[in-house]
Amino acid sequence: MNATSDLPPSAPDEARGVFGSERLSLAEEYAALLATDGVVRGLIGPREAPRLWERHLLNCAVLAEAIPNGVSVCDIGSGAGLPGLVLAIARPDLRITLVEPLLRRTTFLSEVVDQLGLGQVTVVRGRAEEVRDRHAFDVVTSRAVAPLDRLLRWSMPLVAPHGALVAMKGSSVEAEVEAARPVLRSLGCSEPEVLTLGAESLVHSTHALRVAWADPAKVGLPASRSRRSARRRPR
């Protein structure tokens, strides 16, 4: 990979607590790759390089607080690897699939995976709706991919019966939930849970949204069969 002189600032004190001493060097190497090749390839804006830790790496890493141990994760619209690659660095126990449609981005992701030795990560070029492993992932993550109504349609078909969507969201998350209520009902989702992550470890906490299935037993059933089952259910 090519390099420039615009390296990110050194890791802040919070990074050791978030990534752990044994994984911090990998996080620093990834930050350097984002600030150099990531900028050159147009994956990260030049103005983002000096604030990679605060705005990107740390707030993505605390998403791990909402993910159980040893599960499978699908990160849709991975872009430069946020949050998917950050989670892979912070949590080597996770099996992570990065889904991204653009070739220049998947090329970068694959190079980073190889360079950092992240053997538990698979890179898939495509869109979420093209992923063949339907209802196969314990957790489906994303960051700044789409408004919640569209994100639900892309993400929930990949969520396992007892899994959940765990998406990074901004301060308008409550308004997004209200706007997406028709989609939540039509897909059979449970009531969304707004999460505040990193409150004890970061200066600025991260907002995320967790959405599970209302009835895991119906996941993957054709809609007509699901409706027939509901009509036969004793009252």
Annotated binding residues for S-adenosyl-L-methionine: 77, 82, 128-129, 143
Helices and strands (H, E) in the chain, number of each type = 11, 7
Contact call for residues 143 and 60 (beta carbons, < 8 A): yes
**Beta bridge partner(s), residue 194:** 209
DSSP assignment of 150-200, as one string?
HHHHHHGGGEEEEEEEEEEE-TTHHHHHHHTHHHHHHHTB---EEEEESTT
**Known binding residues:** 77, 82, 128-129, 143
* 203 closest CA partner among 23, 53, 24, 68: 53
Locus of tokens 């705005």: 55
**Cα 214 to Cα 145: distance, rounded to the nearest angstrom:** 24
**Cα 128 to Cα 4: distance, rounded to the nearest angstrom:** 33
- Cis-peptide, bond into residue 222, ω within 30° of zero: no
Q: Positive or negative CA dihedral for 138, 142, 117, 8?
A: negative
